[in-house]
Amino acid sequence: MTRPITIGSLCSGVGGLELGVMAALSGCQLSWCSDIDSQAVKVLSARFADVPNLGDIRALDWTRLCRVEVLTTGFPCQDISAAGCRAGVENGDRSGLWDVLGVVRVVRPRLLVVENVAALRWRGGGLGRVLGDLAATGYDSSWRSVCADDVGAPHRRERVFLLAWPRSEGPAELAADADRARRHIKRPERVEQNRWALPTGSDPRSGGCAGLPAERMIGKESARCGTADFRWGVHGAALARWERALGRRAPRPLLAGRRGQPVLAPEFVEFLMGLPVGWVTGLAISRTAQLRLLGNGVVPAQAAHAVALLLREATSISSAAEVHAGASSRKGAGWDVRAAARSGHGLIGRGVA
């Protein structure tokens, strides 16, 4: 029996990135996660009940903790996001990047998976600094911008995904184990065949409204929540496509608020994210907190698709990096990040030996 690939998660949120990585790599096992947000902790405790949450990564002695082969992180984006202060990685104080790099230097995973907002690759966002620091740590990298609608979701949600690995090893052996990832790569355009559907367990409500009380739904036929009794207008085709991809119907997008006014339903956002039914909304968490957690989360199918694509690129990055070695050797970072950013993806040069 093949030993499972061990995964450690930093800044875990609700675990969407981890679900995606586990979908892309066969035979994975989440060894530990880490988050200090009280509401995110509730989700992690419920959905990964047997997985310890290490808490604040700044307060841990990583030399004494269990090593893992794959490290995932979606470090905080307030300093980077277009919705935030746009201070960037270098000038901001809320990115958490330096804490993550400190863990990487000690744990030395065979593969690092990073997810962040698209603004990371914008001017001043800090992608160049991230890549340069990884190179200085001895890691080669490959990155790509991937949108949620690339896997059939009815919204764009562009994100930057980055894979990094020790220069001395390379990712070939780990990529060779990723049978499911290679199958995803072969037909990335076939989103209609439920390739990206994630298991919802034995919950009999997987085709419904995740246990939401029917009286809170807006509409005459309040007990029904599928697209059949709600007018989606121009969005109908996109939502129907996502319904087929996930294998379940969309819940209604609106609820009756405390004063009777329509408010956004977290169940609908959970559906848009492609998370299993009730992953967040099935827990005793306030509506506003659920929306915040979901808005900060990762679409698992999008992450799986990105990791699959990057693994393919990573297996040949050594030869590609040699082409740019002359230009990058003086700084130890990669090739022209600005030019690569305009194309939406890039192969980044060799880490320092």
User: Hey, which residues are catalytic here?
Assistant: 77
Please list the residues that pair with 28 across neighbouring strands.
5
For residue 238, count CB atoms less than 10 angstroms from its CB and return exposed for 0-12, middle for 13-18, buried for 19 or more: middle
Quick one: which of 145, 85, 152 has its CA closest to 116? Answer: 145
Distances (CA, A) of 200 to 171, 236, 291, 342: 31, 24, 20, 38
The alpha helices in the chain, defined as continuous H runs, are 16-24, 38-47, 88-91, 97-107, 127-136, 172-176, 179-186, 236-246, 266-273, 287-295, 300-314, 317-323, 325-328, 337-343
308: closest CA among 187, 199, 178, 198?
A: 178
Which parts of 65-193 are beta strand (E)? 70-73, 111-117, 139-146, 159-166
**270: helix, strand or coil:** helix
C-alpha 311/C-alpha 171 separation (Å) is 8
Radius of gyration of the chain (CA): 20
